[in-house]
Structure 1
């Protein structure tokens, strides 16, 4: 029987990605990721349930993650899920959700969003002139009869 350990997430980076290298020179990028889930409970109250994941990417693509993932960016992550039980500083038992990513894509960069308080950037005063688009004229010889043309055909003469 086959086995599958695959998780796909869309959420926001909780911090800028950090890049490290193993003693053998392999790159490892890591960042935290928040994935929100809103629902209405039995009492009719809206609940915002956020799950946090530790994301790590190894190998050649790790440098992309290390250089470009910044706090607040909306990202897509796909990888393998694992959990880790640990004791926090207060001695409480916690569970960390780890994803060893094999695909990370940036969906949205908050810095690239236009700020409504800033005027739009000035464009080059020389504007290219658009070429007029000409609509093709129908050719009566190429027109196909419509489905509701009102003409009945002999079923024995249909091509199929």
Structure 2
């Protein structure tokens, strides 16, 4: 019988990331993300139920997360489930966690953390877009010198030489 162990979660970090290194030199970080579930009760009221999920980040994922993410940062995690089992004082214990294989930072950039975009904006900024165009006005350059083509509404959108 075949088996499949894959988890995809989108949520917010519950605390700042603490990066540590194991004796072999590999980076590791244990984080918790809050994934909210919104449902309607029997009397018609909406209620949000948070689910807290423990996630282990390894290697470059752990280093990048500790550098750019902080408490409240939205993040997408893809990985696999792992059941940890141990015994404490004669009691058997277990804990289900996610081992992160891919991580995607979500939301816009503000300062060092990736805070969620403003409530009225559905745009997602990339580091390349912000470093090339910024949020203010920029000088007009020819189309060949651009790092990226604007996708709409931003500076340079009215350029008639866009090849599409």
TM-score normalised by length of structure 2 = 0.60
Give the superposition deviation at 1:53.
Answer: 0.8
Cα distance per residue 1:117-138 (max 9 Å; x no partner): xxxx9946x743878638xxxx
For residue 64 of structure 1, what is the aligned residue in structure 2?
Answer: 64
For structure 1, list consecutive stretches of 5 or more residues without a partner in the other structure. 87-93, 115-120, 135-160
Q: Tell me the CA shift for residue 113 of structure 1.
A: 5.1
| Contact 2:31-2:55 at 8 Å conserved across structures | yes
Separation of aligned partners in 2, 1:32 and 1:100: 12
Please tell me whether the aligned partners of residues 74 and 116 of structure 2 are also in contact (alpha carbons under 8 angstroms): no
Q: Which runs of 5+ in 2 are unaligned?
A: 87-92, 108-113, 120-133, 142-155
CA 1:5–1:111 in structure 2 vs 1: closer, same or farther (change >3 Å)? closer
Kindly indicate whether residue 140 of structure 2 is the aligned counterpart of residue 128 of structure 1. Answer: yes
SS of residue matched to 1:60:
helix
Give RMSD over aligned pairs. Answer: 3.4
Aligned to 2:30: 30
Instruction: Tell me how far apart the structure 2 counterparts of residues 132 and 5 of structure 1 sit (CA, whole Å).
Output: 47
Paired residues in the alignment total 122
1:117 counterpart residue number = none
* Change in CA separation of 1:97 and 1:122 when aligned onto 2, cut-off 3 Å: closer
Give 4+ residue runs of structure 1 displaced > 6 Å after superposition. Answer: 129-132
Q: In the TM superposition, what are the counterparts of 1:21-100 in structure 2 within 5 Å?
A: 21-83=21-83, 96-100=95-99
